[in-house]
């Protein structure tokens, strides 16, 4: 009869946890256990803020607070409009969108050579972004796009490359610094502003024709740009800690996340 006796409660919980982890294939979390009391407690505590707001809103205190808010609502709206106008002006004069665009272009330039080299599309002498700069500082000769003998700026020193980049960028930077009117002497009219010039040169697909969609694109651009700037912080940290490129680090982490991560890199220092 003892063999037919049901298992103790703790054993039943452990069996349930093992069944759950086996079903989902997560053996590392096989000892996870959560009772219905814990779940109920989370639900109750998460509902407290909503219940408190509703109770205050329906009370005399809430009515008094709403009355005071209505009396000052016009002043609040006026201040909000002024702050919005100042915010828009500051955004137009801000360099954040320029930094975001540079970060996106730089991230693309750091990832593509490494990806092309890994899949075998091109064989680069040095596909890792930071090692390219280091090689040029040493005066090494690099084949452009991995094509043997094609030394377009590959055999030049860092100073010559910097001068070439300055000459190539002086035109666009002059137009940006002086404003969109800088190109009008050449017969080019740009209908936008400094950060979003528009026109056939900067908006060949006419994406700015729909104002609503254009504002959404601006938001997406700055979000992606901020993500690229954060990604570059990761690129720097990875290069300093591992000496590898970001794609190689990602593949290592995917293959073995418990041994290739930030903590393991810090321990290896």
Report pLDDT digits (tens) over 24-65.
444 433 333 445 665 666 666 677 777 877 888 888 888 888
- 149 Cβ contact list (under 8 Å, min separation 6): 143
- Cα–Cα distance measured from residue 20 to residue 171, given in angstroms and rounded to the nearest whole number: 63
**Residues contacting residue 152 through CB under 8 Å, at least 6 positions apart:** 144
Give the Cα separation of 226 and 220 in Å (integer).
Answer: 10
Question: Residue 135 and residue 123: Cα distance in Å, rounded?
Answer: 16
Can you tell me the distance from the alpha carbon of 40 to that of 34, in angstroms, rounded to the nearest whole number? 11
Among 110, 135, 102, 139, CA closest to 224: 102
Contact 183, 190 (CB under 8 A): yes
Residue 256 and residue 250 in contact, taking contact as beta carbons nearer than 8 Å: no
Mean pLDDT of 160-172: 75
Q: What is the mean pLDDT of the chain?
A: 76
Q: Taking the domains of the chain in order of start, what are their residue ranges?
A: 2-83, 98-267
Q: What's the pLDDT score for residue 166?
A: 78
Q: What is the pLDDT of residues 186-237, one digit of tens each?
A: 677 888 877 888 887 788 898 888 989 998 999 999 999 999 999 999 999 9
Q: What's the topology of domain 98-267?
A: Chlorophyll a-b binding protein (1.10.3460)
SS3 127: coil
State the pLDDT confidence band at 17, using cuts at 50, 70 and 90.
very low
* pLDDT for the residue numbered 1: 41
Phi, psi (rounded to 5 degrees) for 124: -90, 140
Higher model confidence: residue 205 or residue 89? 205
Question: Per-residue confidence at 153, pLDDT binned at 50, 70, 90?
Answer: low
Yes or no: say if 21 and 27 are a contact pair by the CB < 8 Å rule.
yes
Q: Looking at the predicted structure, is the pLDDT value of residue 269 above 70?
A: yes
Contact 134, 141 (CB under 8 A): no
Kindly report the length of the chain: 269
> How high is the pLDDT of residue 151?
64
Answer yes or no: is pLDDT of 157 > 50: yes
Report pLDDT for 246: 93
């Amino acid at each position: 009869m003892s063999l037919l006796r049901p298992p103790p409660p703790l054993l039943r919980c452990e069996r349930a946890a093992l069944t759950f982890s086996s079903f989902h294939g997560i053996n590392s979390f096989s000892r996870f256990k959560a009772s219905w009391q814990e779940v109920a407690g989370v639900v109750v505590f998460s509902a407290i803020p909503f219940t408190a707001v509703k109770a205050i809103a329906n009370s005399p205190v809430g009515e008094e607070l709403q009355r005071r808010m209505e009396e000052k609502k016009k002043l609040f709206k006026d201040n909000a409009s002024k702050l919005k106008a100042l915010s828009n002006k500051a955004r137009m004069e801000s360099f954040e969108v320029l930094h975001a665009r540079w970060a996106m272009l730089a991230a693309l330039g750091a990832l593509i050579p490494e990806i092309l080299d890994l899949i075998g599309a091109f064989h680069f002498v040095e596909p890792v972004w930071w090692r390219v700069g280091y090689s040029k500082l040493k005066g090494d000769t690099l084949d452009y796009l991995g094509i043997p003998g094609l030394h377009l700026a590959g055999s030049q020193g860092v100073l010559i490359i910097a001068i070439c980049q300055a000459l190539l960028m002086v035109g666009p930077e002059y137009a940006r610094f002086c404003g969109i009117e800088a190109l009008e002497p050449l017969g080019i009219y740009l209908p936008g502003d400094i950060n979003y010039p528009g026109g056939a040169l900067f908006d060949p697909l006419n994406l700015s024709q729909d104002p609503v969609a254009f504002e959404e694109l601006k938001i997406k651009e700055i979000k992606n740009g901020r993500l690229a700037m954060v990604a570059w912080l990761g690129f720097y940290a990875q290069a300093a800690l591992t000496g590898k490129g970001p794609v190689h680090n990602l593949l290592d982490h995917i293959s073995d996340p418990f041994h290739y991560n930030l903590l393991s890199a810090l321990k290896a220092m």
